[in-house]
């Protein structure tokens, strides 16, 4: 039985996307909140416990904390793990640079229903964790910008429900990020919501795979293009939904996790 040695925290995207959703689609028995054969860890993990296990260890590197206060935990877990997993190619390169170890790239599954492609009104939405807010600073003067985040001064306080309401109420999703090794989660979420995505050129590397379907570059110019070319924007959204529908399906992502677990 696979054991997910994590604390259930559905409010965290990392828990939902790396544990809860994939676990529901695994082709083998599992239990969340305990050890198993093998055992999954993420974030800081638990090096002392992991080292004592005999059934194998999978360590999912969610963020780059190989320097700073959490560095010892990250390095220890990487040295103990039988398999290391990450959510992007950049994070795989980061793990290799710091530990000399290879990792398996498994992207995040989608977690929301697919909505029709629409570009109504003129609202612009930025949504995301407050850890990414610094990347939005250069674009704070974007007209009709709404911010949905756990930031205290956000226009709308974040929750999954509020996030979806805000997405359905905007015309364009403006996405920025501080973490160059981030997964594609937020882009996929906006596309699944049927919204055209605008992002600056310095966005996380993984987001570049959506270049045929989104605007990458000058943010204000991208917003203007979408609002002045709504039919074309909707065509791009529809094409993007077709692209993401299977690639990020929970069942497909879970199959990749199953392969990793079965390899130990």
Domains of the chain: 2-109+249-262 (3.40.50), 124-247 (3.40.50.2000)
pTM to 2 decimal places = 0.93
- Whether 172 and 224 have beta carbons less than 8 Å apart is answered as no
Q: Cα separation of 248 and 45, whole Å?
A: 26
In a structure prediction context, what are the per-residue pLDDT tens digits for the chain, which is 264 residues long?
999 999 999 999 999 999 999 999 998 899 999 999 999 999 999 999 999 999 999 999 999 999 999 999 999 999 999 999 999 999 999 999 999 999 999 999 999 999 999 999 999 999 999 999 999 999 999 999 999 999 888 899 999 999 999 999 999 999 999 999 999 999 999 999 999 999 999 999 999 999 999 999 999 999 999 999 999 999 999 999 999 998 999 999 999 999 999 999
- φ, ψ for residue 198 (rounded to 5)? -120, 130
Residue 106, CA atoms < 13 Å, CB-side half-sphere: 29
* Residue 198 bridge partners (DSSP): 174, 215
Query: Tokens 């973490």 correspond to what residue?
Result: 179
Q: Which whole-number Å values give the CA distances from 145 to 19, 141, 155, 193, in the listed order?
A: 32, 8, 9, 18
**DSSP state, 88?**
S
Beta bridge pairs of residue 85: 60, 104
- Least Cα distance to 203 among 188, 223, 222, 181 occurs for 181
């Amino acid at each position: 039985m696979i054991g997910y040695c994590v604390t259930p925290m559905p409010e965290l995207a990392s828990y939902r996307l790396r544990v809860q959703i994939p676990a529901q689609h695994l082709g083998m028995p599992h239990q969340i909140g305990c050890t198993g054969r093998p055992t999954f860890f993420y974030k800081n993990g638990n090096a002392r416990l992991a080292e004592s296990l005999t059934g194998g260890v999978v360590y999912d590197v969610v963020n780059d904390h190989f320097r700073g206060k959490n560095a010892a935990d990250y390095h220890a877990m990487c040295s103990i793990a039988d398999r290391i997993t990450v959510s992007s190619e950049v994070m795989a390169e980061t793990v290799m640079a710091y530990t000399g170890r290879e990792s398996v790239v498994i992207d995040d599954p989608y977690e929301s229903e697919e909505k029709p492609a629409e570009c109504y009104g003129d609202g612009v939405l930025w949504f995301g964790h407050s850890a990414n807010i610094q990347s939005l600073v250069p674009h704070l003067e974007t007209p009709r910008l709404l911010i949905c985040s756990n930031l205290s001064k956000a226009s709308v306080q974040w929750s999954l429900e509020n996030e979806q309401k805000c997405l359905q109420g905007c015309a364009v999703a403006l996405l920025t990020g501080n973490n160059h090794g981030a997964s594609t989660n937020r882009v996929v979420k906006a596309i699944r919501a049927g919204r055209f995505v605008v992002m600056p050129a310095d966005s996380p590397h993984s987001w570049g795979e959506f270049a045929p379907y989104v605007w990458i570059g000058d943010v204000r110019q991208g917003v203007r293009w979408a609002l002045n070319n709504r039919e074309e924007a909707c065509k791009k959204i529809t094409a993007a939904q077709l692209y993401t529908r299977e690639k990020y399906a929970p069942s497909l992502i879970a199959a990749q996790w199953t392969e990793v677990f079965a390899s130990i």
